[in-house]
Amino acid sequence: MTTKTYTDYVQKAFELCEDGSFPTKAAAKDARQYLSRAYDMLTKGLDYAALEANGLSFWDVPNDLHRIRSKHTPILRVAIGPERADRVRFLADQLDKIKAMPVIKPTLKPKVAAQPTGNQATHLGTCQICGAVHKVGKRSGRIAKHGYRVGRSAYSLGRFHGECEGSHYPPLERNCDLLQRHIRQLERQLETLAESDDPIYTTWDGKEYRRSSMIANTERAIKEQSKRLEGWHMTDLMPII
């Protein structure tokens, strides 16, 4: 992490009040804190020997910028040198000016209604995989992303997880290639399930299922998807009313 300098803090304070005012009370507070940190940078490494030689101690040096008065200038010249003492006087003057600056909230810009881009979907189509009806992209002619779930845990809040395999493919009204491939995949899956007599089927990620249930579910899926494909022909999309 980059170490901030006296100049960095002063610049940050001035950036918050470029127009002679602050947009919020928080900004005014931040500006005062930046000047205080700049003061801390100047008062690091007090000359204790010089203070003692002049009958002073570190207790005579204010620990906060807002405590600085003109009477402290001679003390600071001894403790941190003439150049830094002049900078402290500058910071104290700027702090007084900042305290006097008003807080003026910026004028809110009127809300402008979003203008149509001409790319909005105008028709609905049927997903080749799940059979749900969704919007079809006007330019792409493909089904919108769907079938995802939104994360609710602390590390995935608001994130999308997964999606239907039919997302981003043409709708069933215009194309059936994806549905045909899906049926062939189900048929291969059924063949794999039937290769063993083990009542338990273990997936690649270690999950276990009853083989008989998976066979029954796969057979039902093949039957349902084949019925959707039967007699397929291209049809018109459903207009969004």
Q: Which sequence spans correspond to the domains of the chain? A: 6-100, 123-143+169-239
Partners of 172 in the beta sheet? none
Amino acid at 46: L
The pTM of this model reads 0.49
Q: Which two tokens stand for residue 87?
A: 């900078």
Amino acid at 153: S
- Name the residue with higher pLDDT: 152 or 66: 66
Question: What phi and psi, each to the nearest 5 degrees, are found at residue 143?
Answer: -70, 140
Measured from the Cβ of residue 76, the count of other Cβ atoms closer than 10 Å reads 23
For residue 160, what pLDDT is reported? 54
Measured from the Cβ of residue 90, the count of other Cβ atoms closer than 10 Å reads 14
Task: Answer yes or no: is pLDDT of 151 > 80.
Answer: no
Q: Mean pLDDT in the chain?
A: 88
Task: Answer yes or no: is pLDDT of 129 > 70.
Answer: yes
